[in-house]
Amino acid sequence: MGFTTIGAAPVHAKHKASCHCGAVELRLDLPDGVVDPRRCNCSYCRRRGTIVASVPLSGLHVVKGAEHLKLYTFNTQTAKHYFCSICGIHTHHQRRSNPALYGYNLACLDGIDPFDLPDVPTSDGVHHPADRHAE
Ligand SMILES: [Zn+2]
């Protein structure tokens, strides 16, 4: 089960999310609320600093601005990080540890303040499980 409220704000079963400038708008299916919010310490996420939560690929819909989304990949090219090419805000990414999931930027959720979340765990992306096979 996830967070169905964050601070005083309700998490809707279908929740709108947007980048900073509003060019990109997403609709997220969050029937269980915000599931598994976390930070990550990998070389990319530590710079970005966002809290992300997960949703199945079928639970994320780009409502508007698909043409403004840019894709960034690095290292194994598995994770696909999308950001708004106008304002630069990361909206979502296809996860490397489970490509059946998108991670989305919690701070993009309409009306939600990520600073209202209690302690957020950090994923050890520096020592990613997928990297252990390379040794
Ligand atoms: Zn934008």
Q: Is the pLDDT of residue 20 over 50?
A: yes
Q: How far is the CA of 19 from the centre of ligand 1 (A)?
A: 5
Q: How far is the CA of 25 from the centre of ligand 1 (A)?
A: 9
- The pLDDT of residue 57: 96
- The pLDDT of residue 41: 82
Can you give the residue range of the structural domain that contains 87?
12-121
Q: How far is the CA of 104 from the centre of ligand 1 (A)?
A: 15
Q: How far is the CA of 69 from the centre of ligand 1 (A)?
A: 9
As a whole number of angstroms, the distance between CA 135 and CA 133 comes to 6
Mean pLDDT of the chain: 90
Residue 104 lies in a domain: yes
How many structural domains comprise the chain? 1
CB atoms within 10 A of CB 10: 13
Q: How far is the CA of 65 from the centre of ligand 1 (A)?
A: 9
pTM of the model: 0.88
Q: What are phi and psi of 31, to 5 degrees?
A: -60, -25
As a whole number of angstroms, the distance between CA 105 and CA 87 comes to 14
The CATH number of the domain holding residue 53 is 2.170.150.70
Residue 129 lies in a domain: no
As a whole number of angstroms, the distance between CA 55 and CA 45 comes to 18
Please write the tens of the pLDDT for every residue from 76-123. Answer: 888 899 999 999 999 999 988 889 999 999 999 999 999 998 888 887
CB-CB contact of 25 with 16 (8 Å): yes
